[in-house]
Amino acid sequence: MEVVTFLVALGVAAAMAIMLARLFAGPTLYDRVLAMNSFGTKTVLFLLVFSALVGRQDAIDIALLYALINFVATIAILKFFRYRSLEIALAQMSLRKALDGEYEQ
Amino acid sequence: MFYGVSLTAILVALWLTLSGPFTLSGDYPIVMTLGVVSITLAVALTFRMRIVDRETVPVAPAFPLFAYWSWLGGEILKANLAVTRLVMKPELDIEPRLVRVPAEQRSGLGLCVFANSITLTPGTVTVDVEEDGFLVHALDTSFTDPAGFAEMGARSDAASDGKRETR
Amino acid sequence: MNWGEIIQYALFAASVAAMTAGLVFVLAGAIGVIRLPDFYTRMHSAGVTDTLGAELIVLGLVLQAHDWQTVAKLALVGLLLFLTSPTATHAIANAAHRAGHKPHLSRFRPPHPSEAGKPAGKGTS
């Protein structure tokens, strides 16, 4: 069983390396954000497999936290690059969107 | 009252899951005390904010959603195999499309479940939400079958009672 | 050989099968992210990893877990990935669309290296 788990961990690490290649090569910003998000998902998987490999439960807690932070970080990066600011409250987003639509027309 | 009790039950289950074996020996009395204090504080604050209702404690809408997820799992499996076959072919041959999918759901939850189901199925991603439908990007023309989208919409409607007027 | 051992071997085999299948899907998704031509198509390939690959690896780990707490935590991680990955994918796609990023919408079929010299019908256009 340990051999299979170890091979799966190696495979997930290889996928993470491929994602890093796309992160550095990605022509647009959105490619990079996508690669970063997918890299985070693979990190969560790697932590889970690692916790089974070394037989410690603590890594699962770290994986849980990492999944949460990964999601929030993706949304925060996208929000920053759309509004160029993190200070706009979410409640004002719809107002801002309506203003943007008016501006486009 | 029902929502308060179920909220407390959910929080207790989450605490017991995350904080280990629940015996009262060794260091565990202080852990249990902290758990009781934090759960009481969270429930009291939620009551004080007066937001304990059907939306914040989605117990009743959850059970049809679990039944819907089992159907969605089969769809995800099929779509995954199709996308993997397309991507791993030695010679890439894809034809991306941008299609409009009509959505008759009226409740916010129904729209949310339908859009997330479309995104969760590989090969189709909801790009934008418009007045009466979604803008969907599909990886290949074989994913743009209107009957498939209609069936998914009807099932997600039934699962999240999307015909309810709550928006 | 009693029933306990048989169940143990069956769990072992199911766990190995689920984790291997999950690894295949994760690697397929990663290779797709490298191969596909533009941002919107790469997104679909990343979705393969986020849904089936991740859930299958979590399922394989659940099948080889020893106590209920590990199972509950793994199920929580799986549920969290299942709920947040479509939202994140939609957020990225929507941000790209709102920023005016145009998708590549014609047929994409790069010519094979052996027939690179010939006029190969519709190429990358």
pLDDT score for C125: 41
Distance from CA of A95 to the nearest CA of C (A): 16
Distance from CA of A25 to the nearest CA of C (A): 10
pLDDT single digits (tens) C47-87 = 877 788 899 999 999 998 888 888 999 999 999 998 888 88
Provide the pLDDT confidence category of residue B24 given band limits of 50, 70 and 90.
low
Rounded-to-integer distance, Cα C60 and Cα C12, Å: 9
The whole-model pTM stands at: 0.85
Average pLDDT over residues A64-86: 87
Higher pLDDT, A101 or B124: B124
Residue B62 has pLDDT above 80, yes or no: no
pLDDT score for C17: 92
Residue B11 has pLDDT above 80, yes or no: yes
Share of chain C above pLDDT 90, in %: 23
pLDDT score for B53: 74
Rounded-to-integer distance, Cα B55 and Cα B59, Å: 9
Q: Is residue B125 within 8 Å of residue C43, measured between CB atoms?
A: yes
Distance from CA of C14 to the nearest CA of B (A): 17
Looking at residue B94, the DSSP 8-state letter turns out to be B
Helix axes C68-98, B2-18, angle to 10 degrees: 110
pLDDT score for B163: 56
Domain-wise residue ranges, chain B: 2-48, 62-159
Total beta-carbon pairs less than 8 A apart between chain A and chain C? 129
pLDDT single digits (tens) B114-134 = 888 888 888 888 888 887 788
**How many Cβ atoms from other residues are within 10 Å of residue B165's Cβ?**
6
C28 interface with B at CB cutoff 8 Å: yes
* CB-CB neighbors (< 8 A) of B87 in chain C: 28-29, 31-32, 35-36, 45, 48
Provide the pLDDT confidence category of residue C110 given band limits of 50, 70 and 90.
confident
Helix axes C54-63, A29-54, angle to 10 degrees: 10
Residue C121 has pLDDT above 60, yes or no: no
pLDDT score for B167: 43
Strand-pair partners of B130: none
Q: Is residue B136 within 8 Å of residue B98, measured between CB atoms?
A: yes
User: What's at B56, amino acid-wise?
Assistant: T
Dihedral of CA A36/A39/A41/A46: which sign?
negative
Average pLDDT over residues B145-153: 82
- End-to-end CA separation in angstroms for chain B: 25
* CB-CB neighbors (< 8 A) of A42 in chain C: 26, 30, 49
Looking at residue C38, the DSSP 8-state letter turns out to be S
At a CB cut-off of 8 Å and minimum separation 6, what does C98 contact?
A82, B128
* Range from A23-27, B101-105, B142-146, B158-162 that averages highest in pLDDT: A23-27
Higher pLDDT, A20 or B55: A20
Which DSSP string do the residues of C44-100 spell out, in sequence order?
Answer: HHHHHIIIIIHHHHHHHHHHT--SHHHHHHHHHHHHHHHHHHHHHHHHHHHHHHHTT
Neighbouring chains of B at 3+ CB pairs under 8 Å are C
**Interchain proximity C27–A14, CB inside 8 Å:** yes
**How many Cβ atoms from other residues are within 10 Å of residue B55's Cβ?**
12
What is the residue-averaged pLDDT of chain C?
Answer: 83
Residue B26 has pLDDT above 90, yes or no: no
Structure tokens at A61: 């807690």
